[in-house]
Amino acid sequence: MKKWLIAASAVVLLLLVGGLVWTHHNASTTTTSTAKSQSTKRAAKHSTPPLTLAELKASPKLTYSCLIYYAIKDTKLQRWQEVNDFQAGWQVEHFAKKHPTRYLVWSDMNITSAEKNLAPNWFSLSGDKVTYDSMIVHSFHKDQTATTTLPKVIKQLNADHAMKKVRSMPTKMTVLNHR
C-alpha cells in the first residue's frame, strides 16, 4: 500500500510538473505571436511613404492635389469648402499668358464653361510660395487670402496622414492649360 501511494504521488507530481512546463511553453509562444502580429499591424499602418518636395516637383497634378487638400482642410477660407467633393473631383484651369502662376480651381472634374457662373477659388504658386484666394460671395469686401509654402503644406499633410488620400486625388482631376 505504501509503494502504491508513493507511485501515485510520483505520477501526480510528474503530471503537475509536465502541465506547468506545457502551460509555460504555450504562454511564451502566444506572447511571441502576439508581439509579431502587433509589429506587423504597426508596420502596415505606416506603409504609405511621406510626401516629399521632390515628388511634388516631379508631378504637377500631385502638387495641385496637395494644395487643394490643404486649402480645404487646413485654411480658414470658407469658400474653399465648395470644392470639398472628393467624388466629383476638380478642374484646375491655368491661363499661362495672362496669369503665369495662378491656378483656378473648380469643383467637378467635368465642369463645363456654361456651369462656371461664379468666380472660382484660386491659388498661385511662385517657387515654393503658395497664395490662396477666395472671393466673398455677395459682398463688396476684399477677397480672403492665405499664404504658406510648399514645405509647410507637405509637413502638415504628412502630420495629418493624408498621403494616401492626396495621392489618389489626381485620378479625379482635369487640368486645362491655356497658352
Tens digits of residue pLDDT in 107-160: 999 999 999 988 899 999 999 999 999 887 666 667 889 999 999 999 999 999
* Residue at grid coordinates 500500500: 1
Q: Kind of pairing, strands 102-107 and 121-126? A: antiparallel
Q: Which among 42-46, 89-93, 94-98 has the top mean pLDDT? A: 89-93
Kindly report the average pLDDT of the chain as a whole number.
84
pLDDT, position 62: 97
Cα–Cα dist 40/17, whole Å: 35
Q: What is the pTM of this model?
A: 0.72
Cα–Cα dist 150/172, whole Å: 21
pLDDT, position 161: 96
Report residue 14: phi and psi, to 5°: -65, -45
Per-residue pLDDT tens digits for 58-75: 999 999 999 999 999 999
Looking at per-residue confidence, does 168 or 35 come out higher? 168
pLDDT, position 10: 64
| Closest alpha carbon to 83 in 95, 94, 69 | 69
Residue 64 exposed, middle or buried by CB count within 10 Å (0-12, 13-18, 19+): buried
| Closest alpha carbon to 158 in 50, 57, 10, 28 | 50
Handedness of CA 59, 114, 143, 80 (dihedral sign): negative
pLDDT, position 154: 97
What is the CB neighbour count within 10 angstroms for residue 70?
Answer: 25
Contact call for residues 69 and 91 (beta carbons, < 8 A): no
